[in-house]
Structure 1
Amino acid sequence: MSRSERLLDLIQILRRHRRPVSGHTLADEMGVSIRTLYRDIATLQGQGAPIEGEAGLGYVLKPGFMLPPLMFTDEEIEAIVLGSRWVAKQPDKRLATAATDALAKIAAVLPDDLREDLDATTLLVGPRSESAEAIDLGVVRQAIRDEHKLGFLYRDAGGSASERLVWPFALSFFDKVRVMVAWCEMRQDFRHFRADRMSGLTATAIRYPRRRQVMLKEWRATLGAPGQNGATETSG
């Protein structure tokens, strides 16, 4: 959980209590140390949240407090809309729906003038490209989040097929193709796999032995290194 999410959760917990609640009770409910709780209370107070009380006496949020509306510059709104519209055009249906829903949620909490700017932006996304992908990219994204191995059948550019078991840690979105970046157990190296050449995708519950952030960092280091197959192949 990010710090901003934790602060929002703290606000919601305080809203549930009409009488002062002790710091230790709040810390236990949040799953944080009492020192972290005191820092979070001070942060919220510094940002204008009307939290009354002090250590040893308890805390209470005065009634009527509302989080300030989201504020964006014109270019920030354009970036949000353009990005959401682009994702909504992608063949990953679950991600496309999530982009549309997220944009609607943002619009619901914007002030009226900014909501009008959001609806009236003239940055458009072209028609969705035809995709020959037969796999569910949502399964790939879930495996990346869970750090679980994936199995599938892969056909290279020449049509040769091979069964792969990989450790997926990134997914790249291009206009006409999606590419999964993974450590391939068969090749014992980083490989790029085009989603339109994958079939028979099998999600496993096997956690791979390394953290995806570490592999992402190591893979990026290979991109500028000559002779690194993992950085140049999309044929697997």
Structure 2
Amino acid sequence: MLDCFDSFCQGGLMRTTRLFSILDELRSRRLPVSAEVLAGLLNVSVRTIYRDMSTLQSMGAPVRGESGLGFQIEEGTFLPPLHFAPDELDALLIGMRMVQSRVDSTLADAASRALNKIGSVLPDHYDHLFLDSPLLVHSLASGKPSLKNDILSELCYVIRIKERIEISYVDGNGGSTNRYVRPLGVVCFDSVWLFIAWCDLRQNFRSFRVDRVGLVSRTGDIFKDKLGEGFKDYIRSL
């Protein structure tokens, strides 16, 4: 009798864990996910996924299913904090600490705030896996941000709001020029950060070393993405 009770409890715990896993999986994706994909990820049958979805919806979870498309979280809904697995916490820590060692002071401070926010909502038994983790990242700058000014932060901002800018730039030969560009993205390589932009004058992509950008002047001119001239198009052209 006790064995049956223990099995029942374990089964309930496994299902509860699976329901949380389904919600975490759905909100991590921008597009609908099919029951077949979810079944493969969670190592259960498609029928089990449909039953779990019905349970979630009956509990009031903001899950919507569309025939032929799959399941997704309703837009504009609020869900409790994510439940991170230990290896996901490791990935977050390493990534954030790499950011802290490779960027300017503004972004380094933002990374520290993000780490503190994540740590503050984790269950108590995860504290030693996150706040006191022995995973560190060493930089040649002896713990200081590798970029001396806040140019990278400014570039990230105008990329986010899609505003044309003028930059002053010093090339490899020491020559100084001014460029009007549409900011598209940044790419971090082993030793340098590259700023990627579209030059309307040259009608082509241009890349600039962030540490050689002297000044970023905002124009107030907000642009829209154009087919063939976006950041993903640049990546495909490499």
Alignment correspondent of 1:184: 199
Q: In the alignment, is the contact (CA less than 8 A) between 2:102 and 2:139 conserved in 1?
A: no
- Runs of 5+ consecutive residues of structure 1 not aligned to the other structure: 6-41, 52-66, 224-236
Q: Specify whether residues 73 and 205 from structure 1 end up closer, same or farther in structure 2 by C-alpha distance, changes over 3 A only.
A: same
Alignment correspondent of 2:102: 90
Alignment correspondent of 1:152: 167
Q: 1:194 aligns with which of 209, 212, 223?
A: 209
Percent of pairs with identical residues = 31
Q: Distance in 1 between matches of 2:228 and 2:202?
A: 21
Give the 3-state SS of the residue equivalent to 2:102 in structure 1. Answer: coil
Alignment: residue pair count: 171
Alignment correspondent of 1:36: none
Q: In the alignment, is the contact (CA less than 8 A) between 2:89 and 2:130 conserved in 1?
A: yes
- Runs of 5+ consecutive residues of structure 2 not aligned to the other structure: 1-25, 29-52, 63-78
Q: In the alignment, is the contact (CA less than 8 A) between 1:81 and 1:103 conserved in 2?
A: yes
Q: Distance in 2 between matches of 1:195 and 1:145?
A: 17
Q: Specify whether residues 125 and 213 from structure 1 end up closer, same or farther in structure 2 by C-alpha distance, changes over 3 A only.
A: farther
Q: In the alignment, is the contact (CA less than 8 A) between 2:101 and 2:146 conserved in 1?
A: no
Alignment correspondent of 1:26: none
Relative to the length of structure 2, the TM-score reads 0.61
Q: Distance in 2 between matches of 1:43 and 1:145?
A: 38
The answer to whether the aligner puts 1:210 opposite 2:225 as a matched pair is yes
Q: Distance in 1 between matches of 2:129 and 2:225?
A: 45
One-letter code aligned to 2:196: V
Once the two structures are superposed, residues 82-136 of structure 1 have per-residue CA deviations (whole angstroms, 9 ceiling, x without a partner) of 1111112233222211211111111111111112211232221003537465452
Q: In the alignment, is the contact (CA less than 8 A) between 2:195 and 2:209 conserved in 1?
A: yes
Displaced runs of 4 or more, over 6 A: none
One-letter code aligned to 2:181: V
Q: 1:73 aligns with which of 80, 85, 90?
A: 85
Q: Specify whether residues 213 and 140 from structure 1 end up closer, same or farther in structure 2 by C-alpha distance, changes over 3 A only.
A: farther
One-letter code aligned to 1:83: G
Q: State the shift of 1:176 in Å.
A: 3.3
Give the 3-state SS of the residue equivalent to 2:83 in structure 1. Answer: coil
Q: Distance in 1 between matches of 2:178 and 2:95?
A: 35
Q: Specify whether residues 139 and 81 from structure 1 end up closer, same or farther in structure 2 by C-alpha distance, changes over 3 A only.
A: same
Q: In the alignment, is the contact (CA less than 8 A) between 1:170 and 1:182 conserved in 2?
A: yes
